[in-house]
């Protein structure tokens, strides 16, 4: 489960940015094409936060949709996987423009 390592890194970054202050809430933005399972991040978050200034913090995860831009006709298409075809012209030449992100969007102290 690679989410444990990812969550450890998220906790470390938030603790560094908190500069010794108690953290109440963390909001993440996770793309649906990122191969990260939000439920696993939630599970790991509580474990990784034990005995830190993040213990008891609320984790909010916002999932972003996958969107690709057709390299042929420039139309944007929704994607459920990191591949697909243009809904307008049928081309398989798509550039992913959204859905692969993993961002710490905000934290509440």
Binding site for Zn(2+), by residue number, is 70, 73, 86, 89
Question: Confidence class of residue 1 from pLDDT cuts 50, 70 and 90?
Answer: low
- Which pair of structure tokens corresponds to residue 69? 């831009």
Please report the pLDDT score of residue 2 as a whole number: 86
Write the CB contacts of 89 (distance below 8 Å, at least 6 apart in sequence): 70, 72, 73, 75
Give me Rg for the CA atoms of the chain. 17
3-108 has which fold?
hypothetical protein PF0899 fold (3.30.2320)
Please report the pLDDT score of residue 22 as a whole number: 97
Binding site, by residue number, is 2, 70, 73, 86, 89
CA distances from 25 to 57, 62, 75, 104, 107 (A): 5, 13, 37, 11, 5
| Whole-number percent of the chain with pLDDT over 70 | 99
Q: How many CB atoms lie within 10 A of CB 97?
A: 13
Binding site for Ni(2+), by residue number, is 2
pTM to 2 decimal places: 0.84
Instruction: List the chain domain ranges.
Output: 3-108
Please report the pLDDT score of residue 56 as a whole number: 96
What confidence tens digit (pLDDT) does each residue in 22-55 have?
999 999 999 999 999 999 999 999 999 999 999 9
């Amino acid at each position: 489960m690679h989410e444990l390592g990812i969550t450890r890194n998220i906790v470390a970054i938030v603790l560094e940015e908190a500069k010794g202050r108690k953290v109440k809430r963390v909001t993440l933005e996770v793309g649906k094409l990122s191969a990260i399972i939000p439920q696993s991040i939630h599970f790991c978050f509580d474990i990784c936060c034990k005995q830190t200034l993040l213990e008891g913090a609320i984790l909010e995860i916002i999932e972003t949709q996958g969107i690709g831009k057709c390299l042929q006709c420039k139309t944007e298409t929704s994607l459920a996987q990191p591949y697909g075809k243009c809904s307008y012209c049928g081309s398989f030449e798509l550039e992913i423009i959204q859905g692969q992100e993993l961002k710490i969007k905000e934290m509440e102290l």
